[in-house]
């Protein structure tokens, strides 16, 4: 059974994995045996990411790349194939969010979110799939969101992008499943990261709201995402395709407590 979850010899690319959820997922894949490559648009963040992996005892190779730029992505994928090996596991993690009421959001701001959160996963997946086909298979994991299923005020662009990413996930599974390529998603719930620290202060209304809406009665941690990521990247999930695994403590299953 352990061999089914083993990633020894596999090459993983995790986009936007200099910190946060991407770093946690890449680190989990490394612990399971994978060779880690990652990117960021900012050279300083790539250096910071390499240092963070090194501190954790992980040798990771970082690349400066804008995942919305097809030419840059193709160049990065070619470099990874030459320097590390053909990519077996792709995690489309890079993303942004703009919390702006819809009628106040410009079309340019809307397009930017769509570009990073939906177009980029298409571009990167398109770049790695041909070599996966030649190699005989591969794993693609798209980081979706509860907003792949739900709407919420001020996140119209993000919800549209993540809903689209859910359907892109299903379409990649449909189109390339016959080549032994499994494409699935992970939909994190509300995760405790440095970025969400202000919202998690005791007494903060949003903190109370999330705990009340979550059957687990807590925020998730990046560690909660590690097992699902390794599962979807490993042979243990070879007949799982086009699925979004929501790691949300049960929020999507729960209507909430009666006031």
C-alpha 3/C-alpha 207 separation (Å) is: 40
- Active site residue: 53, 158, 190, 246, which one? 158
Q: Is residue 176 among the annotated active site residues? A: no
CB 60 within 8 A of CB 91: no
C-alpha 234/C-alpha 4 separation (Å) is: 6
CA 232 distance to own-chain centroid: 12
* CB-neighbour burial class of residue 148 (10 A; exposed 0-12, middle 13-18, buried 19+): buried
C-alpha 77/C-alpha 190 separation (Å) is: 31
- The set of catalytic residues is 158
């Amino acid at each position: 059974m352990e061999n089914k979850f083993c990633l020894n010899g596999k090459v993983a690319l995790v986009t936007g994995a200099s910190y946060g959820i991407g770093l946690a997922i890449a680190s989990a894949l490394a612990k399971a045996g994978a060779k880690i490559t990652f990117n960021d648009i900012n050279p300083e963040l790539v250096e910071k990411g390499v240092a963070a992996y090194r501190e954790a005892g992980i040798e990771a190779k970082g690349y400066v790349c804008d995942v919305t730029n097809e030419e840059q992505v193709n160049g990065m994928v070619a470099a990874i194939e030459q320097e590390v090996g053909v990519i077996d596991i792709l995690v489309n993690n890079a993303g942004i969010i703009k919390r702006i009421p819809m009628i106040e959001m410009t079309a340019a701001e809307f397009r930017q979110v769509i570009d990073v959160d939906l177009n980029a996963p298409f571009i990167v997946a398109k770049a790695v799939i041909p070599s996966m086909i030649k190699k005989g298979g591969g794993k693609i994991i798209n980081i979706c969101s509860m907003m792949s299923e739900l709407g919420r005020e001020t996140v119209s662009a993000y919800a549209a992008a993540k809903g689209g990413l859910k359907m892109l996930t299903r379409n990649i599974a449909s189109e390339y499943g016959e080549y032994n390529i499994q494409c699935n998603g992970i939909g994190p719930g509300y995760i405790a990261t440095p970025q969400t620290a202000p919202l998690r202060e005791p007494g903060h209304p949003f903190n109370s709201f999330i705990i009340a809406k979550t059957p687990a009665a807590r925020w998730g941690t990046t560690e909660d995402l590690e097992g699902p990521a390794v599962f979807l990247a490993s042979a243990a999930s070879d007949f799982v395709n086009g699925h979004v695994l929501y790691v949300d403590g049960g929020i999507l299953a729960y209507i909430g407590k009666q006031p």
